[in-house]
Structure 1
Amino acid sequence: MDTSDAGRQLIDGRFELVAPLGSGGMGTVWRARDIALHREVALKEVRPPDPATAAAQPGLTDQLRERAVREARALARLAHPHVVTIHHIVEPAAGADGHPWIVMELVQGGSLHDRLVAGPMPPEDVLRLGLDVLSALRAAHAEGVLHRDVKPANVLLRPSGSAVLTDFGIAALHGSTALTSTGVLIGSPEYIAPERVRGEEGLAASDLWSLGMLLYVASEGVHPLRRATSLATVVAVLDEPIPAPVRSGPLGPVLERLLVRDPAVRPDGAQLEQLLRDASTALGAGSGTGGGAAVSMAAPATPAAPAGPAAPGPYGQYGPYGGSYGPPTAPPTPPPFGSPAGSPYAATTAEILATPAPRRRPVLLGAVLAAVLVAAVVGAVRWLPDGGSGKDDAKSPETRTSTAATPSGGTTPGASTPAPKASTPKTGTAPKGSMLTPENIRTALEALKQQTGTTTFVDLKVYDGYVLASIPTAPGAETVDAWQYRDGAAKRTGPDGTVDEEEPLIDMATVNWDALPALLEQSKKDLNVPNPTSRYVIVEPWMMDQVPCMRPYLSDEYGRGGYVLAGIDGKVKKVVAS
């Protein structure tokens, strides 16, 4: 760390530390200023754990350093709209003391953790959230990166409402993902997959369990396995029944499929995406008029939250879900998943899920497992920030560092993201068929131009059913708005941050859209995905060289897929297959 003449703390001679956003055993995240590019960033100081732990595991410090740099590089190649952007890595010189610093995008919005302080979310919002986070996880898994700590504190919500996943592999830097030989628990007890607790090597399915638990909490407003202490929570995660959701609507059967303890029978990423989309369709049908509702949205009363507000922790954080960290208020006890009348949405399950409900794993808390847990409890509790009281999200670095700062430099716990100012949509005849055709994309661009006066955007994302765009608020402006084109209407959906001075704006009218059909066909061959079940195209500057590019993303029902990097002329430069 350097100190300038003005007394500023500078990292790599360029990044000025402004204020800590959070800290813990694995490091500190700082709000920082890039004095070269005049922008704010988040700076992750990846330092080793406490000296006693480092001494007990020789070589741990070097392992942490190597893993942090490797995974940050992998994420820097990812360049996904729902993954936090990695700008730069500051590594200590060879043989020198010190630790890496990861320079990341500072997302101008609150975390999902903050949002849930205000209460559970509507099922339609949870489904959208699930698709965003799943998209990020699938892209990361295709690059060989597992997250290991998916939880509300690590999901940021942009002002437009879209989700951004952060802290990939940086929060869980140790090579093990469960209980190590010294009893260290990596990950948050409430969201860790049971196979990781048992010491099995983590898989993509383990991240999907964590996502399922996150969606359950977001929709229901309570954690089904949270107990008074961290150890009790870990035991519950291993084999206690999960109560059926009571307010999740058609998301309920999806959670039932996902939250099974045998990872081999969980849906994979592609199957889960289809289940979530089917649930969204069922929810849309159920909310319309004229009958045909897949499920009644009437739900029992939401379980009462613990009385009184929780005391704020450091940096203005509250305990998850708005309650204090004492023994949780007992929720209603509907039948657990897998019981004969376990789901109030049995009819919907039959409609949404094409395969039978998965079997439940038999009880695993035998004598041998109990002995292992008892042997590990001292180390596990020692590494949990609260010393075993269950306060993991309140004091963990992931909870605080993922909270985006307000313009004044603080956070706003308990406040919902303000609703964006509505913009009168420009409505025309809805295009027929997929938006991923030259004609339909140009129709969308014309509609957006009528509303904004320009086709020069920060980026453009084209899905089969709609188009998303980030557009400067005026020529030469630093501020950016989020726009969407759907069903023939162009509509502003809210603010979307500021223009990145490093990245050039792109005139989307200059993109060779006529080359897109051939590019999609070539992508199917290059990625070995002849029958994609998910596809979309992103147009933005490529992170490595800041040259405008098109990137089609494709995947099929077997989880195969990836993306193709092409110029805006449609010529392929690189193929990244899973």
Structure 2
Amino acid sequence: METSEAGRQLIDGRFELVAPLGSGGMGTVWRARDIALHREVALKEVRPPDPATAAAQPGLADQLRERAVREARALARLAHPHVVTIHHIVEPAPGTDGHPWIVMELVKGGSLHDRLASGPLPLADVLRLGRDVLSALRAAHAEGVLHRDVKPANVLLRPDGSAVLTDFGIAALHGSTGLTSTGVLIGSPEYIAPERVRGEEGLAASDLWSLGMLLYVAVEGVHPLRRATSLATVVAVLDEPIPAPVRSGPLAPVLERLLVRDPAARPDAEQLEQLLRDASTALTAAPATPAAPPAVGRYGPPTPPPFGPVPHPYAVTAPLPPAAPRRRPVLLGAVLAAVLAAGTVGLVKWLPDGTDPSEGAKGGPGGAGRSASADPAGGQGSPAPSTPGPKAGAKKGATPEGSLLTPANIRTALAALKEQTGTTGFVNLRIYDSYVIAAVPTAPGAKTVDSWQYRDGAVTRTGPAGTVKDRVPLIDMAKVEWDTLPALLEEAGQELGVANPTSRYVIVEPWMMDQSPSMRPYLSDEYGQGGYVLAGTDGKVRKVYRSS
């Protein structure tokens, strides 16, 4: 073994190992010094974690070597400020039992996983984080690289707060040979996209689902689908409702659009970037919200599951209801049958280092609608009124005074939206203190939906919002009993124990359980306490959902 003057092990004659930073199933990451360039680096030693693992999985060492080369090539393609920089790869001599070393940038700010152990992030920081990671994913996707394991442990934070995406070791490169055997799924169960569980690979939208789940965890402080076992978590990813976020403010509609189980319904990367920018703008315009308090435990429950996250080895540590299940119990039965038939312990075989809304318009900002032939008020068999198609422009009207969450100001906003879109039969409507967002079919009978925004008296089309889902009615927002809203907000505050909300908004859309038109006020205070109440469009409360 070659050593430095200080008696430390030298790799490739120039990289002096200083101290291990962490280890996992893919090997150990070391803090090291490049004695040729006089700089600190991180070295990833790619080898099976122990002889027992290697003996139990013949060929694992060769697979790890190939993954190391894959990671190096993936990262080498991406010269990007939010992708960890790879400097060099040391490959073992042919015919030897050596293992590769990946030499990369040493990020000194710690990992997002480390940061979240002390509680959720402020919303402004989460929005910045989302834009940084999305920027990295867009660069990767442009080079034909899918990450496939976006999670907090794989996001590092530089001292200036910017995010760096790393661990492309299981990334899929176009034109490269797959590294998993038939039926084996790699990735972290809590952040894996549902279509990947179903066997659909090669979709950039899958990385965006994982990013959406990461942002949910970062701002809410809990993982909405985390269960006691990997198998239970995967089943939840496939079919279980996603609790409504209560701390997300203007990010909530973005999460709702992103965390839908149909990948075709999610916004693409370009649309998502604009949505995040819009949310940042809305946050800046809104009154400041105090930072949320630390959550109990990591991402919620104090007892981590068997595949819980571990500190990242590269770094120096210094209720929105989801899309209605697309797969019914027959799918779950088939999944479990496959597990039993394979004789495996769980549904999938994770990598050794695996660590740890209401549906409506597909990809729309939540809610659902059917074709415009449906009764916009939620009745049966009544055709929607024939209306002209949406106008392309925007018109400035009188600016309402005070919050938009009043009956008079909501009606003013609806009148302005109708003037531009030609209808009040919407897929859904989201009302905040300073702006309103509506999902509107692009024409009578159209399956496509646009997102429209009302702010400061002006109406603007903000972009496509997916497609209308069948068998779910549009809602005629003009027929909602808005005069009941003040009493409903007061009742929600009493039921949720939120006397002085620092975040509040109202969603009007078909309820996912029975598709009946619903009105849902969301409230939270400076301590993150709150939730939402489910009411009919008559303002009568049906159920109360409190945040845990």
* Fold similarity call, TM over 0.5: yes
**Whole-angstrom distance in 1 between the partners of 2:302 and 2:172:** 26
Contact 1:113 1:320 in 2 (8 A): no
Q: What residue number does 2:334 align with?
A: 368
Residue 55 of structure 1 and its aligned partner are, at CA, apart by 6.3
Q: Does 1:149 align with 2:115?
A: no
Residue 255 of structure 1 and its aligned partner are, at CA, apart by 0.7
**Whole-angstrom distance in 2 between the partners of 1:63 and 1:10:** 25
Q: 1:38-437 residue pairs with structure 2 within 5 A?
A: 38-48=38-48, 60-169=60-169, 180-181=181-182, 184-287=184-287, 305-306=295-296, 319=298, 323-325=302-304, 334=319, 336-338=321-323, 361-363=326-328, 365-374=331-340, 375=342, 377-378=344-345, 392-393=355-356
Please list every run of 5 or more consecutive structure 1 residues that lacks an aligned counterpart in the other structure. Answer: 289-296, 311-318, 328-333, 339-358, 394-555, 558-578
Q: What residue number does 2:490 align with?
A: none
Residue 249 of structure 1 and its aligned partner are, at CA, apart by 0.8
**Whole-angstrom distance in 2 between the partners of 1:125 and 1:32:** 30
Residue 226 of structure 1 and its aligned partner are, at CA, apart by 0.5
User: Aligned letter for 1:367?
Assistant: G
Distance of aligned partners of 1:335 and 1:287 in 2 relative to their CA distance in 1, 3 Å threshold: closer
Contact 2:108 2:158 in 1 (8 A): yes
Residue 51 of structure 1 and its aligned partner are, at CA, apart by 5.9
Distance of aligned partners of 1:321 and 1:41 in 2 relative to their CA distance in 1, 3 Å threshold: farther
Residue 268 of structure 1 and its aligned partner are, at CA, apart by 1.4
**Whole-angstrom distance in 1 between the partners of 2:295 and 2:47:** 37
Contact 2:71 2:171 in 1 (8 A): no
**Whole-angstrom distance in 1 between the partners of 2:228 and 2:290:** 31
Q: In the TM superposition, what whole-angstrom CA distance separates every residue of 1:556-576 from its partner, at most 9, and x where no partner exists?
A: 99xxxxxxxxxxxxxxxxxxx
User: Aligned letter for 2:345?
Assistant: V
Q: What residue number does 1:27 align with?
A: 27
**Whole-angstrom distance in 2 between the partners of 1:172 and 1:55:** 27
Distance of aligned partners of 1:49 and 1:262 in 2 relative to their CA distance in 1, 3 Å threshold: farther
User: Aligned letter for 1:276?
Assistant: L
Residue 21 of structure 1 and its aligned partner are, at CA, apart by 1.0
Contact 1:147 1:207 in 2 (8 A): yes
Distance of aligned partners of 1:2 and 1:378 in 2 relative to their CA distance in 1, 3 Å threshold: farther
Q: In the TM superposition, what whole-angstrom CA distance separates every residue of 1:496-545 from its partner, at most 9, and x where no partner exists?
A: xxxxxxxxxxxxxxxxxxxxxxxxxxxxxxxxxxxxxxxxxxxxxxxxxx
Residue 13 of structure 1 and its aligned partner are, at CA, apart by 0.8
Q: What residue number does 2:536 align with?
A: none
**Whole-angstrom distance in 2 between the partners of 1:48 and 1:270:** 39
- Secondary structure in 2 aligned to 1:212? helix
Q: 1:466-505 residue pairs with structure 2 within 5 A?
A: none
Q: In the TM superposition, what whole-angstrom CA distance separates every residue of 1:464-496 from its partner, at most 9, and x where no partner exists?
A: xxxxxxxxxxxxxxxxxxxxxxxxxxxxxxxxx
Please list every run of 5 or more consecutive structure 2 residues that lacks an aligned counterpart in the other structure. Answer: 307-318, 357-462, 465-548
- Secondary structure in 1 aligned to 2:119? coil
**Whole-angstrom distance in 2 between the partners of 1:279 and 1:221:** 19
TM-score using structure 1 length: 0.53
Residue 105 of structure 1 and its aligned partner are, at CA, apart by 0.4
**Whole-angstrom distance in 2 between the partners of 1:219 and 1:229:** 24
Q: In the TM superposition, what whole-angstrom CA distance separates every residue of 1:312-362 from its partner, at most 9, and x where no partner exists?
A: xxxxxxx556944279xxxxxx36135xxxxxxxxxxxxxxxxxxxx7624
Residue 383 of structure 1 and its aligned partner are, at CA, apart by 5.0
Distance of aligned partners of 1:92 and 1:335 in 2 relative to their CA distance in 1, 3 Å threshold: closer
Residue 118 of structure 1 and its aligned partner are, at CA, apart by 2.0
Contact 2:235 2:332 in 1 (8 A): no
**Whole-angstrom distance in 1 between the partners of 2:265 and 2:238:** 16
**Whole-angstrom distance in 2 between the partners of 1:361 and 1:135:** 30
Distance of aligned partners of 1:99 and 1:171 in 2 relative to their CA distance in 1, 3 Å threshold: farther
**Whole-angstrom distance in 1 between the partners of 2:300 and 2:99:** 34
User: Aligned letter for 1:205?
Assistant: A
- Secondary structure in 1 aligned to 2:19? strand
Distance of aligned partners of 1:217 and 1:248 in 2 relative to their CA distance in 1, 3 Å threshold: same
Number of corresponding residues: 342
User: Aligned letter for 1:230?
Assistant: S
Computing the radius of gyration from Cα coordinates, the structure with the larger value is 2
**Whole-angstrom distance in 1 between the partners of 2:154 and 2:192:** 13
